Chains A and B, each alone.
Chain A
Amino acid sequence: MSGGASAPLLRIADLSIAFGPVKALDGAGLTLRAGEIHALMGENGAGKSTLIKTLTGVYAPDSGRFEFEGRPVAPKSPRDAEAIGISTVYQEVNLVPTLSIADNILLGRQPTRFGLLRKSQIRRRAEAALGRLGLKLDASRSLSSCSMAEQQMVAIARALDVKAKLLILDEPTSSLDEREVEFLFGVLRRLRDEGVAMLFVTHFLDQVYAVSDRITVLRNGRFVGEHPIAELPRLKLISAMLGREFAEMQHLAESAHSAAAGSRAPLLEARHISHKGTMNPVSLDIAAGEVTGLAGLLGSGRTETAKMLFGVTPTQTGEIKLGGTTVKIASPRDAIRLGLAFCSEDRKTEGIFPDLSVRENMVLALQSRRGPLRLMARKEQDTIADHYIRALRIKTDSAGTPIKNLSGGNQQKVLLGRWLSLQPRLIILDEPTRGIDVGAKADIEKLVQSLRGEGMSVLFISSDIEEVVRNCQRVVVLRDRRKIGELSGPDVEAGRIMNVIAHHE
């Protein structure tokens, strides 16, 4: 090619796509060059995944220009996209766990002779593909015997086997530990030197700065800007992603800390609770009327700790005291009876009942605490539903609407209503703002502060350190499934938390 390094491999402009009345992309744009790692940033709902799905032919755009290697293209399926050189590695590894590594790398394009698979050749080619990534694995092993990081590498090897010119990595690091992330980045750099273009989507800011060359920011389906990494410091990136909401959030942070409390009597004391293979022994106190944060990177054991407290994962060692007395929490039922509530990070599989109405979703936990025989009167159910629909500003046609018809943020608020209606002594909020729009996010953060005001204890878990800082008076820091530090009062600030995470040995 005569254009040299500066000729764009992919150029997208004015891309728009609407689902019903919702515009998922509204004039989005993206330019990629060969041999670069390009970060695609944006809040949830910014249109990142829609853009990726358009690139890979899952969605057809309503309008816009889409050029690859200087020619207009319009892939109609992932297969089409692969054929022109665009491959994708998805967030949840999309491979077949029951098949071998070699099968997974070559499925659909295995070499055959007379229609029969050439098994030894398949294995050799798979191992060669892994070797290109600097990996030595027995390709005949079953994929289900591989670690998450190995599976990620297999997914990348599969993507590269089609001679991909553009590799899309959608949240590839979300289930990897630091060492594995480092290894992955090594692989990405190696591929960059070979001239592969990579589109890297992640919500870990550190990783963006560690590996990318340029950043494109999307907001509300629109193109906000494209910058070389050196010209876009963190704060600017964040405000580009959040837009004007950023100022409002900072304001909230100040109000939370002005009310920071001194030492109060602990409501819940956990001592050396652990579950083999899930979480090492951890001790923590949660004070009455305080918001305690659990901070740490993904996989540090935040959700695991919460699930032990709520009886989802049985504790194998240690004890839990509630209000000074030792309690046994063997199931969520026990936890609810003791006045605990747990709003899971996994709204879809651990939260909503999609076909049931907003009202039923809201009263189920309370009804379950009262037992199966005394059905709550319809009037009481309506009162509770109406109360939280108003108090949490839930947008729904009526309390009778199936919850699946609501947006993610409103579903989240219904679930909050479910747990608040129990009037718990302690509510555990695991990533309460994940996957919801900025407005709902601010609503939920305001709610957390008002709950504290009412004397409820909150255990607040979030991978967004800024959010933890804004909301919590005390922060327990986890790393590698252990507690490594605790900060309280004025010490609660992003820099210190990151310091603890980064420098603890």
Chain B
Amino acid sequence: MSEPLARVRAWFQGGTLLWPLLGLAALLAFNLVWSPGFFSVELREGHLYGILVDILNQGSKVMLLSIGMTLVIASGGVDLSVGSIMAIAGALAAALVTRTGLPFVAVVPITLLAALLAGFGNGLLVAKAGIQPIIATLILMVAGRGVAMLITGGQILTFDLPAFVYLGNGHLFGLPFTVTIVAAVLAISVWLTRRTACGLFLEAVGDNGRAARFCGINTTAVKLLVYAVSGLCAGIAGLIATSNIKAADSSRVGEMMELDAIFAVVVGGTALTGGRFSLVGSVLGALLIQTLTTTMQNLGVPPAISPVPKSIVIVAVCLLQSAKFRGQIGGLWKGKARP
């Protein structure tokens, strides 16, 4: 094999950002040919409108979830409860807004604190009680929506508080406000993981938790922290989702979004087994999912059918990450399989 080709292959296998970028580019190229209006963006009243802007706006929730999920998965765990935490956060915020008349600036921190604590509870089960992450977070996934309905009394609570509505529907710098939120959360989390040693510790814990403890890393604290952050991200996403429809709908908010978030993380190049992670990759993965969904809507495919291509992408990504599958494919290229 020639030298440049080997280097490209190394990048394919090692570079985590390449796959989601490639997928995104392929989708955009497809749209360039098949749906002409896809790239048109217009400026109205100082705000940008267009399909691309919609993708950013609608994808914001999964992007936020995927940031927290990346950290949890990097630690060797998984968080199934984020959809339910979104419902709890939405229900709590709506209830506080409609029933207490607290100012929105007070409602936000209270809600986010509740979401953080919910995530922290998951962390306690995983890090202190030593329960498998899938199970530990399954508990809140099952019970969380019940708790949310308990808060709202089973009704769909509607509100029209301008500040709350702005959160998910307003514009800043010509772009939807949600874009700013995602950018800020992403920037802070990248800074915290890459400009401090937190990211390295997290990768160490996910790669080999026992060895991390022997190196003097407080593995319990690391795990508690990532689940708490995942809860926090879910809280923000829950506020946005609730603001989007100006109502807290506890049974539907964030439904199946935990799976989209996990999917985004895996597409973004972070392995489910933990260790190495890429926050930017996960956000790109989330964008890829949203673009896929929007593209199909654009083509007139009923949204209900959109899981089918999603499932194909998941399985394809799994296969590409499988050493055995790569061996087979590599074998095809070289004509002889390696042991």
Contact = CB atoms under 8 A, between A and B. Distances in A.
A touches B in complex, CB < 8 A: yes
Interface stretch (B56-64, B111-119, B212-220, B238-246): B212-220
B339 A20 contact: yes
A353 B214 contact: no
A333 B218 contact: yes
A312 B214 contact: yes
A375 B210 CA distance: 22
A59 to B, nearest CB: 9
A327 to B, nearest CB: 15
A352 B208 contact: yes
A350 B211 contact: yes
B216 A369 contact: yes
A251 interface: no
B200 A367 contact: yes
B123 interface: no
Contact of A356 (B195, B218, B275, B338): B275
A364 B217 contact: yes
Contact of B215 (A332, A337, A355, A372): A332
A368 B215 contact: yes
Contact of A365 (B195, B207, B216): B216
Nearest to A422: B216
Given A19-B339, A372-B198, A352 B211 contact: yes
B197 interface: yes
Interface string A336-375: 1100001010000111111110001000110111111111
B210 to A, nearest CB: 5
Contact of A372 (B201, B207, B212, B338): B201
Nearest to B217: A368
B204 interface: yes
A74 interface: no
Nearest to B198: A372
A350 B197 contact: no
Contacts of B198: 372
B216 A351 contact: no
Contact of B214 (A344, A355, A360): A344
Contacts of A337: 216
Task: Identify the interface centre among A333, A356, A373: most chain B CB within 10 Å of its CB.
Answer: A356
Interface residues of B, number: 23
B197 A353 contact: no
A365 B208 contact: no
A487 interface: no
Interface string A135-149: 000000000000000
B203 interface: yes
B196 interface: yes
A376 interface: yes
Residue of B212, B215, B218 contacting most chain A CB atoms (<10 Å): B215
**Most chain A beta carbons < 10 A, residue from B203, B208, B213, B214:** B214
A347 to B, nearest CB: 9
Interface string B187-229: 0000000011110110110011011111111100000000000
A310 B215 CA distance: 11
Nearest to B218: A333
B145 interface: no
Contacts of B217: 333, 364, 368
A355 B197 contact: no
A234 B200 CA distance: 49
A20 B338 CA distance: 8
B213 A353 contact: no
A248 B208 CA distance: 37
Contact of B197 (A312, A333, A373): A373
A312 B207 CA distance: 19
Contacts of B339: 19-20
Contacts of B208: 349, 352-354
A332 B213 contact: yes
B204 A356 contact: yes
A333 B216 contact: yes
B276 A375 contact: no
B207 A356 contact: yes
A332 B204 contact: no
Given A350-B211, A375-B195, A364 B200 contact: yes
B216 A373 contact: no
B216 A336 contact: yes
7 contacts: A356-B207, A360-B204, A368-B216, A369-B216, A373-B196, A373-B197, A376-B197
Given A354-B208, A370-B197, 12 more contacts: A20-B339, A310-B214, A331-B213, A333-B217, A336-B215, A353-B204, A353-B207, A353-B275, A360-B203, A360-B204, A372-B198, A375-B196
Q: When A and B form their complex, which 9 residue pairs have the shortest distance between CB atoms, in order from nearest?
A: A336-B216, A353-B207, A368-B216, A333-B216, A365-B215, A355-B275, A375-B197, A364-B215, A372-B197
